[in-house]
Amino acid sequence: KAGVTQTPRYLIKTRGQQVTLSCSPISGHRSVSWYQQTPGQGLQFLFEYFSETQRNKGNFPGRFSGRQFSNSRSEMNVSTLELGDSALYLCASSFAGLASDEQFFGPGTRLTVL
């Protein structure tokens, strides 16, 4: 079956702009999680959505938001971009979002903020 897909793969934005990233989970998966990966901070959890509801949230400012649609596809939005938001954004999907479920990761979206 097809894996997790993320679009776009690369983005270049300038400070102050906003950006929307998209994630399509594996068919049948209802949980989607988002992570930020940077050289300095490593992999950090942003939030998780399950059945269109945010179920868990990491320690990121309110500029970072997300949503999930009825087909389980998810988007994350970052408003008022800062230079420090430059990162690889990964999404991961799992079947039911249980602690025992395996998460499958997408290839990531590389965001560069100038």
Partner 1 sequence: AQRVTQPEKLLSVFKGAPVELKCNYSYSGSPELFWYVQYSRQRLQLLLRHISRESIKGFTADLNKGETSFHLKKPFAQEEDSAMYYCALKGPAAGNKLTFGGGTRVLVKP
| Binding footprint of partner 1 on the chain (CB under 8 A) | 3-4, 31, 33, 35, 42-45, 48, 50, 55-56, 58, 90, 92, 94, 97-108
Q: Which is nearer to partner 1, 38 or 80 (CB)?
A: 38
Q: Residue 39, preceding bond cis, omega within 30 degrees?
A: no
Q: Supply 21's token pair.
A: 């990233």
Nearest alpha-carbon partner for 76 in 65, 85, 68, 87: 65
Please, which residue, 15 or 57, has the CB nearer to partner 1? 57
Task: From 87, 88, 62, select the one nearest 77 (Cα to Cα).
Answer: 62
Q: Between 25 and 81, whose beta carbon lies closer to partner 1?
A: 25
Joined together, the tokens standing for residue 41 give 């901070």
How many Å apart are CA 39 and CA 43, to the nearest integer?
9
Least separation in angstroms between CB 45 and partner 1: 5
The CB-of-105 to partner 1 minimum distance in angstroms stands at: 4
In the complex, least distance from residue 65 CB atom to partner 1, rounded to whole angstroms: 17
H or E element: which one contains 38?
A: strand 31-38
Q: Least distance from C-beta 31 to partner 1, angstroms?
A: 6
Output 43 or 114, the one with its CB closest to partner 1: 43
